[in-house]
C-alpha cells in the first residue's frame, strides 16, 4: 500500500514539473502563495526584530495584474508578558508587474496587533495599509520588500518592514 502511495506522489510531482513551464507562461487564473523572511515592527513603545509570514490567495487578472487576499504578520518576542506577539496587515492586495521581473504591490485592510499567552489570544484591530516592491528571481519565486502602517486599537501606531522570499502558484 505504501509503495502505491509513494508511486502516486512521484507521478504527481513529475506531472506538475512537466506542466509547470506551460502553466507559468499562461499566468492567469487562481493563485496561492506564501513567504517567509525577517521583519521589523516599529510601535509606539519600541522596535522589535522578528520573523515574517506572508500569505496570498486570489486570481491573476491578465498577464500583469494580481488581485488577492493578503495577510502579512511579523512575529516577535514579547516584552509585555506574552509568549509571542504579532503585528501586521491583512486585506485586499494588488500586484502589478511593471516590466520584466519587477513588480509593485499594495494592500488595504485591517491592521492587527496580537499577543498570545498560554493559548489565549488578545487582539486589537484597526485600519491598515501597505506597499512594496518585488523581483521575480526565478520562475514563480519572488523576493519582496514591503512596508505597512496601521492603527490597531486606540492611539497605537504600528509600522512593519519585511523582506520575504515567496513562492506563488498559478
CATH code, domain with 41: 2.40.160.20
Instruction: Report if residue 70 sits inside a domain.
Output: yes
Instruction: Report if residue 72 sits inside a domain.
Output: yes
pLDDT of residue 44: 65
Instruction: Report if residue 21 sits inside a domain.
Output: no
Enter the C-alpha cell of residue 153: 486599537
76, 85 Cβ separation under 8 angstroms: yes
| Per-chain mean pLDDT for the chain | 83
| Distance in Å from the first CA to the final CA of the chain | 32
d(CA 144, CA 42): 19
132, 147 Cβ separation under 8 angstroms: yes
Contacts of 113 (CB under 8 A, 6+ apart): 43, 85, 86, 87, 123, 124, 125, 150, 152, 153, 156, 158
pLDDT of residue 75: 93
Decide: pTM greater than 0.75.
Answer: yes
Instruction: Report if residue 19 sits inside a domain.
Output: no
Radius of gyration in angstroms for the set of CA atoms belonging to the chain, rounded to a whole number:
18
Instruction: Report if residue 114 sits inside a domain.
Output: yes
Instruction: Report if residue 17 sits inside a domain.
Output: no
User: How do residues 99-144 score in pLDDT, each as one tens digit?
Assistant: 889 999 999 999 998 888 887 888 899 999 999 999 999 988 999 9
Mean pLDDT per 10-residue interval, the chain, length 170 residues: 38 39 57 96 83 96 93 87 88 94 96 87 92 95 96 86 94
6, 143 Cβ separation under 8 angstroms: no
pLDDT of residue 81: 75
What is the domain range of residue 61? 28-169
137, 101 Cβ separation under 8 angstroms: yes
Instruction: Report if residue 16 sits inside a domain.
Output: no
Amino acid at each position: 500500500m505504501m509503495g502505491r502511495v509513494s508511486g502516486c506522489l512521484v507521478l504527481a510531482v513529475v506531472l506538475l514539473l512537466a506542466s509547470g513551464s506551460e502553466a507559468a507562461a499562461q499566468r492567469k487564473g487562481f493563485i496561492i502563495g506564501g513567504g517567509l523572511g525577517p521583519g521589523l515592527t516599529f510601535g509606539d513603545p519600541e522596535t522589535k526584530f522578528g520573523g515574517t509570514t506572508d500569505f496570498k490567495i486570489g486570481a491573476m487578472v491578465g498577464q500583469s495584474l494580481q488581485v488577492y487576499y493578503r495577510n502579512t504578520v511579523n512575529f516577535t518576542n514579547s516584552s509585555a508578558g506574552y509568549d509571542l506577539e504579532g503585528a501586521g496587515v491583512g486585506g485586499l492586495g494588488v500586484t502589478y508587474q511593471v516590466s520584466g521581473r519587477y513588480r509593485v504591490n499594495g494592500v488595504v485592510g485591517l491592521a492587527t496587533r496580537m499577543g498570545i499567552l498560554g493559548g489565549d489570544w488578545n487582539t486589537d484591530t484597526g485600519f491598515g495599509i501597505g506597499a512594496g516592491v518585488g523581483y521575480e528571481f526565478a520562475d514563480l519565486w519572488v523576493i519582496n520588500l514591503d512596508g505597512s502602517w496601521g492603527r490597531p486599537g486606540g492611539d497605537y501606531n504600528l509600522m512593519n518592514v519585511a523582506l520575504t522570499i515567496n513562492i506563488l502558484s498559478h
